[in-house]
């Protein structure tokens, strides 16, 4: 659900806008609803992606500032009493550091507070129909390309937030679909021909009280920051449910696999 101006590795950009022209077929209500729902999920994921970037920025900026503050304090204790000008200079450095920390808290940390804790509205959720609904929406809203769904085990239920799980699965597929397109473009530019693809492969299993989703797709090699931003929402949803979301990259095969796990019941 990331917007088209997000860097490579973020969630899939919005599909091209459909313009209604005289004589053109009007999309069905089902199609319009699917597009509207996908747009809302894109917006939600963009917020989580933004928060991930802000979190990294806050952490990376605080590290050197803390070091400067500490060493300035050490030097002030050793040199400040012997040379008043040195003491004033070090005090100015410490004051500047404190000012920068205050700006980080107000400009970077404050916007993240609204989504710091992901509230869940748990209910009894039938997982297989929910997953099938996500895939059906993705086939409408994420452009051409096959999406294979394999469900293993009985149609399990989970004590979970239905809407958040829908969003997590959808964002995983959207992220993988974008990467699949980038991989195909790279292969085409190198080989001079269009690259064939088996499409996305989503396998969902019920294993020892957990729902384990494995999504594989052709993808270029990504850095950790691009993955964390693109999958910020699925990771937060998994964490909130007591599960986890991880990524495995096979550089030789040019394939990326997303593994999303959460328990079927609340773990105390």
Q: Other CB atoms closer than 10 Å to residue 159's CB: what's the count? A: 14
Most confident of 70-74, 182-186, 259-263: 259-263
- Give tens-digit pLDDT for 145-157: 889 999 998 878 9
Range of the domain at 206: 123-263
Q: Is 217 a member of any domain?
A: yes
> Can you read off the two tokens belonging to residue 135?
């895939």
195: confidence class by pLDDT, cuts 50, 70, 90: very low
* 172 neighbors 234 (Cβ within 8 angstroms): yes
- Give tens-digit pLDDT for 12-36: 444 444 444 455 566 787 777 777 8
Q: Is 20 a member of any domain?
A: no
Distances (CA, A) of 126 to 131, 157, 213: 9, 4, 15
pLDDT at 268: 63
Report long-range pairs for 3-7 (Cβ below 8 Å, ≥24 apart): 3/42, 3/46, 6/46, 6/49, 6/229, 7/226, 7/229
pLDDT at 99: 83
187: confidence class by pLDDT, cuts 50, 70, 90: low
- Domain of residue 248, CATH code: 3.30.565.10
Q: Is 91 a member of any domain?
A: no
Q: Is 250 a member of any domain?
A: yes
End-to-end CA distance of the chain: 32
pLDDT at 194: 38
Q: Is 229 a member of any domain?
A: yes
Q: Is 141 a member of any domain?
A: yes
Helices (H) and strands (E) in the chain, counts: 6, 7
Residue with the larger pLDDT of the pair 63 and 214: 214
Q: Is 155 a member of any domain?
A: yes
Q: What angle do CA 131, 257, 54 make, to 5 degrees?
A: 90
pTM of the predicted protein model: 0.67
- Burial string for 78-106 (b: 16+ CB within 10 Å, else e) reads eebeeeeeebebbeebbeebeebbeebee
* 9 neighbors 132 (Cβ within 8 angstroms): no
Q: Is 19 a member of any domain?
A: no
- Give tens-digit pLDDT for 155-185: 789 999 999 999 999 999 999 998 888 877 7
Look at the chain and report how many structural domains it folds into: 1
Tell me if residue 199 falls in helix, strand or coil: coil
């Amino acid at each position: 659900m990331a917007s088209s101006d997000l860097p490579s590795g973020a969630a899939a950009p919005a599909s091209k806008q459909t313009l209604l022209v005289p004589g053109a077929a009007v999309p069905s209500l089902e199609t319009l609803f699917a597009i509207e729902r996908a747009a809302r999920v894109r917006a939600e994921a963009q917020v989580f992606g933004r928060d991930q970037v802000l979190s990294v920025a806050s952490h990376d900026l605080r590290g050197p500032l803390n070091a400067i503050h500490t060493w300035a304090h050490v030097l002030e204790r050793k040199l400040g009493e012997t040379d008043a000008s040195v003491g004033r200079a070090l005090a100015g450095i410490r004051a500047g550091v404190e000012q920068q920390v205050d700006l980080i808290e107000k400009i970077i940390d404050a916007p993240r507070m609204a989504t710091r804790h992901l509230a869940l509205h748990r209910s009894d959720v039938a997982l297989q129909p929910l997953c099938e609904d996500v895939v059906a929406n993705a086939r409408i809203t994420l452009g051409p390309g096959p999406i294979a769904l394999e469900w293993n085990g009985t149609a399990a239920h989970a004590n979970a937030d239905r809407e958040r799980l829908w969003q997590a699965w959808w964002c995983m597929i959207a992220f993988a679909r974008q990467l699949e397109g980038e991989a195909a473009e790279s292969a085409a530019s190198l080989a001079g021909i269009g690259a064939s693809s088996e499409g996305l492969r989503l396998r969902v299993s019920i294993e020892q009280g957990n729902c384990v989703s494995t999504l594989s797709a052709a993808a270029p090699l990504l850095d950790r920051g691009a993955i964390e931003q693109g999958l910020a929402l699925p990771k937060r949803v998994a964490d909130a449910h007591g599960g986890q979301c991880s990524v495995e990259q096979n550089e030789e095969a040019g394939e990326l696999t997303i593994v999303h796990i959460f328990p079927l019941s609340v773990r105390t």
